[in-house]
Structure 1
Amino acid sequence: MEKSRKVFAEILDKAMTEANTMDREELLFSYKGVLYPVTLCSPEVFRAMESLEARSDDVILAGYPKSGTNWVGQILSDLVAVWEKKAQNKASSMNDEELEEFPYLEIGDTGKYERMNKSRSRRVIFTHLRPENLPRSVFKNKAKILLLVRNPKDVATSFYHFSNVMSPLPSYETWDDFFVAFMTKKMAWGCYFEYLSEWNKYTDNENVMTITYEELKENPVLGVKNIAAFFGISLTEKELQNVVERSSFQSMKKNSSKTHGSFGNILFRKGGVSDWKNLFSEDQNKKMDKAFEECIGRTKLGTKLKYEIYCKA
């Protein structure tokens, strides 16, 4: 893991250092109508991404920023480590160690995808992208995708705090300023409601499994068991417990300096549910309630989010 962790830290450190020299309005660029951080992504990388040959045994995690992708990514990496150990009948390093790549598909250099095409299975891949912006081979080759969604009010709250400590993203003087940007589609990786709406089209795809941040919080043992079954990974009770314990927020935050270097404290803040109640005004609640209902409320994905339970004061 040391090499992969080093790559992770190096890419983020370089992006933050570069962003510190830039004006706020220079931090984001638009590609196919969606905004992205200029020090982490580029049009050249997006074009090169199309050359990725997805595989049916890829382990792909899709989630909007601050939906819990680092947390669930830990679970997936641990599950693949279990699978590798059984498949090879020997202790095996995690898949992303061999790749020595930044785990997020859209972040890296243009040569990343050629290297990934040469790497062994099973590959663990994270992404914040909408489905239409993924390489076409992902759906053509029937790669399995775990779609992680989280209630929009907690996503906005977490994104706000994250933006103010992550220099590649525009910071905001007040929560009110951030809320306006979030609701007017000015966020990196685009509008969350549009993200949910696009992914909702794939909820009936047999190769897409949807899980919510909240249900995984409520019952991590069942959640991990279902995720493992979806990717065809069998677990003993002991292996299941080890994965659950290693991926607890407390454990990940405690080990964050080892796993994510100096960015650990940035990536793992609270990891809770309903933190939005500390920020949202009554008017903001009404505006988001209306947007949710109009965009996603009556859909399959909207129902799964249990908005009435998690987003009503």
Structure 2
Amino acid sequence: MENSRKSLIDFVDKAVAAASLLNRDELMFSYKGILYPVTICSPEAFKALESFEARSDDVILAGYPKSGTNWLRRILNDLIAISQNKTLSKESSGDAEKPEEIPYLEVGDPEKYERMMKLPSPRFMATHLCPENLPTSIFRNKVKILLLVRNPKDVATSFFHFSNGLGIFPSYDTWDDFFTDFMSKKVAWGSYFEYLYEWNKYIDKENIMTITYEELKENCALGVKNIAAFFRIPLTEEELQLVVERSSFQSMKKNLEKTHRTISNILFRKGGVSDWKNLFSEEQNEKMDKVFEEQVAGTKLGKKLKYDVYCKA
């Protein structure tokens, strides 16, 4: 996992360097009507991904950008390590010995998927993609998917700071400009509301578990216990507490500062709930409330988000 982390950091470094040579309007490309960062994704990789063969024992984390996927990646990696009888410690940043591929399915070169076929099970993968853009083998083979969702106002707020901090995305002079693009599908990975609407069609499937960022913040131990049960990974009380401790915001940020100080503040900025209140105007609140009500509120996933609790001033 340490090698995997270094691999991911090196990859991000190269992507940022490549992006610095491009104009703002060259940083993104459109594939099937959705925008993606050109320095980490490509149409060729998306085409190759279509024929990727998933295994029934793969572990997949799905979540829109800035919904907490880096946090859940740590939890899932630790749970997989425990299932393989690997020893975790409070200090270590990871336990796997072999380099792995970039964990995000859609990120990397087109040859990545051939290399992934040689990786031992269970393979861990993360994705920001809508279900219809994932390989059909994932659903055909009933791969277990942990779907992570977060209240849309905090997602937008975190994405704004992320876009301005990491050079692979277009930056914004003002929050107002970003909000306009976020609400009109002009950000990477498209509309969050469409993402929620599409994933809602799948949440009743027995191989999919949905968890919210907010419920995990409220009771991380219970969340980790439920996630472990879903993936049928037995945990002792000591192991449970260790996973919770290693996945705390402070622990993860401190760990990343050791390996790559330059992006630690970008990936782990605040890690809280309701930061949106520092940015949203009354008009923007009303606009997002209206879109959420029209597109997501009546769905099971919409109800799980507890919009009235987390997104009303």
Does the alignment reach a TM-score above 0.5? yes
8 Å contact kept, 1:51–1:114: no
Tell me how far 1:259 sits from its aligned partner. 5.3
Which residue pairs with 2:81 in the alignment?
Answer: 81
8 Å contact kept, 1:77–1:95: no
The 5 Å alignment of 1:210-249 reads: 210-249=210-249
Q: 1:119 to 1:226 in 2, by over 3 A?
A: same
Counterpart residue type for residue 160 of structure 1: F
2: CA distance between counterparts of 1:117 and 1:265? 34
Q: Is the partner of 1:55 in helix, strand or coil?
A: coil
Tell me how far 1:5 sits from its aligned partner. 1.8
Which residue pairs with 2:155 in the alignment?
Answer: 155
Q: 1:290 to 1:96 in 2, by over 3 A?
A: farther
Q: 1:95 to 1:231 in 2, by over 3 A?
A: farther
8 Å contact kept, 1:203–1:210: yes
The 5 Å alignment of 1:17-166 reads: 17-85=17-85, 98-166=98-166
1: CA distance between counterparts of 2:144 and 2:23? 39
2: CA distance between counterparts of 1:66 and 1:297? 21
8 Å contact kept, 2:7–2:99: no
8 Å contact kept, 1:80–1:95: no
Aligned length: 308
2: CA distance between counterparts of 1:95 and 1:186? 38
The 5 Å alignment of 1:196-275 reads: 196-258=196-258, 262-275=262-275
Give the root-mean-square deviation of aligned CA atoms: 1.6
Q: TM-score, normalised by structure 1?
A: 0.95
Counterpart residue type for residue 7 of structure 1: S
8 Å contact kept, 1:197–1:296: yes
Which residue pairs with 2:291 in the alignment?
Answer: 291
1: CA distance between counterparts of 2:187 and 2:132? 18
8 Å contact kept, 1:228–1:235: yes
1: CA distance between counterparts of 2:119 and 2:63? 24
Q: TM-score, normalised by structure 2?
A: 0.95
Q: Is the partner of 1:85 in helix, strand or coil?
A: coil
Counterpart residue type for residue 151 of structure 2: N
Tell me how far 1:261 sits from its aligned partner. 5.5
1:177 aligns with 2:182: no
Residues 158-204 of structure 1 deviation map (CA, whole Å, 9 limit, x = unaligned): 00000001111011100000000001110100100000000000011
Which residue pairs with 1:312 in the alignment?
Answer: 312
- Give 5+ residue unaligned stretches, structure 2: 87-92
1: CA distance between counterparts of 2:2 and 2:231? 26
Tell me how far 1:309 sits from its aligned partner. 0.1
8 Å contact kept, 1:5–1:261: no
Residues 92-113 of structure 1 deviation map (CA, whole Å, 9 limit, x = unaligned): x968753521111111111111
Which residue pairs with 2:303 in the alignment?
Answer: 303
Q: Is the partner of 2:62 in helix, strand or coil?
A: strand
8 Å contact kept, 1:245–1:251: yes
8 Å contact kept, 1:52–1:116: no
Stretches (4+) displaced over 6 A? 93-96
Q: Is the partner of 1:206 in helix, strand or coil?
A: coil
2: CA distance between counterparts of 1:96 and 1:35? 33
